[in-house]
Amino acid sequence: DTSHVPASLSMTSCTAQLGFEDMHFYGNQSAALNHPNVTSPLKDFLQSAVCPEVQSVINNQASGIVSLVEMVIAANSAPPAPVPVPALPAGLVDWTRSEVVEVLDGLVNGLIGADGPWGLNRVFNHTLGGLFPFSGLNKTLASNVPLAGYNVSLMLRDLTISGLDTFGQFQLLDPLGNHSLSFVLSMAKLGLSSTLELQLVPVSGAGGVITETLQAQAELEEPAINASLLLAVNNSLTDLELSQLLDAGCVLSHVHTAMLTTLEVTLRDLRNVAVTGLDSGLDELLGNVGEVVEELYKPSLLRILPNIVAGSTSGLNAEL
Amino acid 65: pLDDT: 66
Q: Are 239 and 286 in contact (CB under 8 A)?
A: no
pLDDT digits (tens, 9 = 90+) for 261-310: 888 888 899 888 888 876 655 667 666 666 777 777 788 888 888 888 88
Read off the pLDDT of each residue in 55-68 and give the average, rounded to a whole number: 68
- pLDDT digits 0-9 by tens, 95-143: 888 877 777 777 777 777 777 777 778 877 877 777 888 888 888 888 8
Q: Are 140 and 155 in contact (CB under 8 A)?
A: yes
The predicted structure's pLDDT at residue 207: 75
pLDDT tens digit sequence for 100-110: 777 777 777 77
pLDDT at 222 over 90: yes
Per-residue pLDDT for 228 more than 80?
yes
Q: Are 280 and 240 in contact (CB under 8 A)?
A: no
State yes or no: pLDDT of 23 exceeds 50: no
Q: What is the mean pLDDT of the chain?
A: 78
Question: Where residue 173 falls among pLDDT bands split at 50, 70, 90?
Answer: confident
CA 98 – CA 101 distance, rounded (Å) = 5
Give the pLDDT score at 158.
92
- What is the C-alpha separation between 105 and 98, in angstroms, rounded? 10
- The confidence score (pLDDT) of residue 224 equals 92
- Exposure pattern of 190-205 as b/e (b: 16+ CB <10 Å)? bbbbbbbbbbbbeeee
- Binned at pLDDT 50, 70 and 90, residue 3 comes out as low
Residues across the chain: 320
Q: What value does the CA radius of gyration of the chain take, rounded to a whole number of Å?
A: 28
CA distance 282 to 145: 21
**90: CB partners within 8 A, 6+ apart:** none
